[in-house]
Amino acid sequence: MEAQLQGLMPLVVLLFFAGALSVEYEATSGLHPVVLVPGNTCSQLDARLTDGDEYEPPTAGCGIPKQGRDWFRLWENFTALQEDPALLPCYADQLRLVYDPVAGDYRDVPGVKTRVVSFGTTRGFGSDNPARKNVCMEGLVEALEGVGYTEGENLFGAPYDFRYAPAAPGLPQRVFSDFVSSLTLLVERASRMNGNKPVILVTHSFGGLFTMEFLNRSPLQWRRRYVKHFVMLCLGVGGSPLNMWPIAASPGSPPSLLYSVLTYGNRSFASTFSPLPSPKVFGDAPLVITRAKNYSAEDMPEFLAAAGFSDDDVERYRTRALPVTLNLRAPLVPMTCINGFGVPTADKLVFWDGNFSARPEFVNGDGDGQINVQTVWALKSLIGDDPDQRYFKSILIPNTTHRGMISDEFALKRVISEVLEANQTTYS
């Protein structure tokens, strides 16, 4: 594969076409509506504390006397934390999820209610933190508006609660099921508002996993009526070794709310295990290396136990997250995947002394800095080789990072070009 990549590197954009297809261009009256699904941590969350004594605050500075009973911005509230840093342990605690063994599902901490902000619009994306500028599709929204898209008319957003994740079919997963229902209604409404044109779904990073599962859990007849094209940015199949680092770090007092989401808080999230490396893609290759033992994707239960996860946590990885990873399928709607490569991307993590809280040494391969290129090849095989997938195209853009795909001018031009092409392409 390395030799293959080296041979491809001089190309500016690499294209792979697969599936039986017939492509022609037609004159269109207006654009097909677009629904954007953002990456991990890019959806805003509100919270409120319920009456009574259900909520047990971690400090005296948290709770109703301090925070009141009204809805407040829980994630991401950089401005409030700048004004009152004492709120950090409150927000970190209120972001946690708990697993209810009776219901067999995750839920908010007792005494806390949460909601996704501005579903149906792109106003729920983004951050008030200057350090996170242009990491949540802001640049893509502007670029789409520049070619004729208008918020609320033919441009819509589907933010989601990133703390949750799709679980194996048949298992309780109320929040993801609610997302599926809400996105179904949004797609149908967007289509009706635009002359019954089918919708173009555009996703970034973790939003691609949510959308893949949404599509595969929707009736095929519905997909082919309502989904014109699926454009998935910065996602392969099979997770990433890099994701083994933050969840292994020992919980402690977080230096920032962002840190609490990616490490401390993440241990409680249903989405904790979703981006971990898949045994199908990475096999028995060592991904975490220590003096005493190496861990591969096939050793994930042992790795999680060594990192301090409980037996119940590991069992939820086996029963809820792993089956989703192992059973990803082609969505059977026209699909274009765009990924970056040529950026050092962790293939292996070295914790030589076995201290998972320390910063590891990285053994890098190729990718976009987060998504490994081998997962992109795996995606091509999974989707492109499915005889029922009518149209599939994979594009690789050199020297493009995970964030750069939705912020760098060159990459944005390519993404917009593919959206416009999807508007005009017919399939048979």
Q: Which of 108, 402, 407, 408 is catalytic?
A: 402
Q: Which residues contact 210 (CB under 8 A, 6 or more apart)?
A: 37, 160, 165, 166, 176, 179, 203
CB distance 384 to 334 below 8 Å = no
Q: Is 70 a catalytic residue?
A: no
Selecting among 204, 368, 394, 407, the annotated active-site residue is 368
Strands 335-341 and 227-233: parallel
Alpha carbon of 290 to those of 279, 352, 364: distances in Å? 20, 4, 17
In angstroms, rounded to a whole number, what is the distance separating the alpha carbons of residues 272 and 316?
10
Give the residue carrying structure tokens 């509100």.
46
* Catalytic residue list contains 205: yes
Structure tokens at 58: 């971690």
CA distance 237 to 329: 10
- What's the full length of the chain, in residues? 428
CB 75 within 8 Å of CB 127: no
Is residue 402 among the annotated active site residues? yes
Residue of 205, 218, 240, 296 marked catalytic = 205
Q: What is the DSSP string of 376-416?
A: HHHHIIIIIT-TT---EEEEEEET--TTGGGTSHHHHHHHH
According to DSSP, the residues that pair with 24 across neighbouring strands are 426
C-alpha distance across the termini of the chain, in Å: 33
- Hey, which residues are catalytic here? 205, 368, 402
